[in-house]
Copies of this chain bind each other. A is one copy, B any other.
């Protein structure tokens, strides 16, 4: 008999787990401080007890903001080894989480490779996999079959699962009554909505939520409450459908906590900047401080090819206002499956957003990086500036491509370099500029 089923139960019982110890160190906080937040559900450590190679990370609004990268095999990307290489690259670049959204081929094999080899937390969306796994028309999949996939993923060592529990009959009815410009844009949400429409049944994840919680409890899978009604355009943001679903997710959060199941809540989506802080606050009140995992928010709809930037703006604001986990968005969003370069740009944009937010909300140690970088700038130490950069390779390539006249400046200002001239004048030197 284990002393505890989940990290949350351990925290509530005052048991310090190895995961808590590892996390407390990384976050520069004490174990008792961390434990208290975990007991309240404000911090989670997604780590399936069968995912033994994990290097655990915690998610919570007062901690370093974490980022997730979506990958997986699909009809267009069938090569498992290549996809695993992308996973390794993503972890190398600083992703704390990988969501396996595989929708083609031997999905189980890829998933198991991940939980056997990858130190990042692994998330899945069982509903996508069910459609592939059962290989039959959507409406013929039974409630039992949907649940079986959840159990299978739990047994495969998945750390968190997105389950669209909130789009029940009640939410669906409100959605239909209150027209939206882009309806439901969540893949999983649209599948469950279609299934409910075709079968006339209640959302099986909602109906059998307790059974799902039992599975999560057994393996310590973190429940990531999916948002079927996240807005797909600015026009639909913060509308009745989105908020109705959020209220349900608040109730479902409480039920999970009653079984010591760790929970996070998923959120928008497309959203005007002026609504972001309000949404973060409302999620925190309705879901009693459960971590908020956001996709974006994308602050305008008009930038296909640049949605890593629209998401960086929204993600930074969201994280600074309380979100704790950012799903990356790549330049390929709305256009195609991302390639390797897109993945890289998406990760870096998300990391910038996360780090900027961490500084804004005073996460411990966040400013150190900037202080060291700027000290190197002041010293005109170009090698250190590059190596401390978020992407040393790109910084070096840029610098190498435009050799400055003077070693210690850059081709932007040359002799006009303010940093250099200030260092000199404050040292009492003569600054001439024109003939130097």
Which A residues form the contact surface with B (CB < 8 A)? 74-76, 103, 128, 131-132, 134-139, 181-187, 189-191, 193-194, 197-198, 232-235, 270, 272-274, 299-306, 308-310, 312-313, 316-317, 320, 331-338, 348-349, 352-353, 355-357, 359-361, 367, 369-371, 373-375, 377-378, 385-386, 388-391, 394-395, 398-399, 401-402, 404-405, 410-414, 416-419, 421-423, 425-426, 430-435
Count identical subunits in the complex.
2
State which of B232, B235, B310 has its C-beta within 8 Å of the C-beta of A371: B235
Q: When A185-B419, A194-B431, A360-B273 are in contact, do A369 and B302 touch as well, CB less than 8 Å?
A: yes
Whole-angstrom CA separation of A193 from B422 in the bound complex: 8
Whole-angstrom CA separation of A335 from B135 in the bound complex: 53
- Please name all residues of chain B whose beta carbon is closer than 8 Å to the beta carbon of A399 when the two chains form the complex: 335-336
Question: Is the beta-carbon distance between B303 and A390 smaller than 8 angstroms?
Answer: yes
Question: Is the beta-carbon distance between B416 and A187 smaller than 8 angstroms?
Answer: yes
CB distance from A131 to the nearest CB of B (A): 5
Question: Is the beta-carbon distance between A378 and B183 smaller than 8 angstroms?
Answer: yes
Question: Is the beta-carbon distance between B135 and A434 smaller than 8 angstroms?
Answer: yes
Whole-angstrom CA separation of A271 from B187 in the bound complex: 38
- Please name all residues of chain B whose beta carbon is closer than 8 Å to the beta carbon of A334 when the two chains form the complex: 377, 385, 410, 412
Question: Is the beta-carbon distance between B312 and A370 smaller than 8 angstroms?
Answer: no
Question: Is the beta-carbon distance between B337 and A412 smaller than 8 angstroms?
Answer: yes
A-B contact pairs, 21 of them (CB 8 A): A103-B416, A131-B434, A137-B434, A138-B432, A138-B433, A181-B375, A183-B422, A185-B419, A190-B422, A198-B425, A232-B418, A234-B370, A234-B374, A299-B352, A302-B369, A304-B389, A304-B390, A304-B398, A305-B398, A317-B317, A335-B402
Question: Is the beta-carbon distance between B388 and A302 smaller than 8 angstroms?
Answer: yes
CB distance from A139 to the nearest CB of B (A): 7
Whole-angstrom CA separation of A189 from B413 in the bound complex: 13
Whole-angstrom CA separation of A434 from B301 in the bound complex: 29
- Please name all residues of chain B whose beta carbon is closer than 8 Å to the beta carbon of A128 when the two chains form the complex: 416
- Please name all residues of chain B whose beta carbon is closer than 8 Å to the beta carbon of A139 when the two chains form the complex: 430, 432
- Please name all residues of chain B whose beta carbon is closer than 8 Å to the beta carbon of A182 when the two chains form the complex: 374, 377-378, 419
- Please name all residues of chain B whose beta carbon is closer than 8 Å to the beta carbon of A371 when the two chains form the complex: 181, 233-235
Whole-angstrom CA separation of A270 from B184 in the bound complex: 39
- Please name all residues of chain B whose beta carbon is closer than 8 Å to the beta carbon of A419 when the two chains form the complex: 182-183, 185, 232
Question: Is the beta-carbon distance between B377 and A232 smaller than 8 angstroms?
Answer: yes
Q: When A300-B355, A370-B235 are in contact, do A412 and B335 touch as well, CB less than 8 Å?
A: yes
- Please name all residues of chain B whose beta carbon is closer than 8 Å to the beta carbon of A333 when the two chains form the complex: 412
CB distance from A430 to the nearest CB of B (A): 7
Question: Is the beta-carbon distance between B410 and A336 smaller than 8 angstroms?
Answer: yes
Question: Is the beta-carbon distance between B425 and A193 smaller than 8 angstroms?
Answer: yes
- Closest chain B residue to A353, Cβ basis: B313
Question: Is the beta-carbon distance between A301 and B234 smaller than 8 angstroms?
Answer: no
Q: Which 7 pairs between the two chains have the least Cβ-Cβ distance?
A: A233-B374, A336-B402, A190-B418, A273-B360, A305-B394, A299-B356, A274-B360
Question: Is the beta-carbon distance between A395 and B302 smaller than 8 angstroms?
Answer: no
CB distance from A205 to the nearest CB of B (A): 17
- Closest chain B residue to A273, Cβ basis: B360
Whole-angstrom CA separation of A183 from B302 in the bound complex: 39
- Please name all residues of chain B whose beta carbon is closer than 8 Å to the beta carbon of A402 when the two chains form the complex: 76, 335-337
Whole-angstrom CA separation of A178 from B106 in the bound complex: 64
Whole-angstrom CA separation of A425 from B167 in the bound complex: 15
Q: When A300-B355, A359-B234, A359-B299 are in contact, do A74 and B418 touch as well, CB less than 8 Å?
A: no
Q: When A186-B418, A313-B313, A405-B75 are in contact, do A302 and B389 touch as well, CB less than 8 Å?
A: yes
Whole-angstrom CA separation of A378 from B426 in the bound complex: 61
Q: When A273-B356, A305-B389, A312-B313 are in contact, do A367 and B421 touch as well, CB less than 8 Å?
A: no
Whole-angstrom CA separation of A232 from B385 in the bound complex: 14
- Closest chain B residue to A426, Cβ basis: B183
A334-B412, A336-B399 known; 11 new pairs, CB 8 Å cut-off, are A181-B371, A182-B377, A183-B426, A187-B417, A187-B418, A190-B422, A273-B317, A299-B359, A300-B359, A304-B386, A304-B398
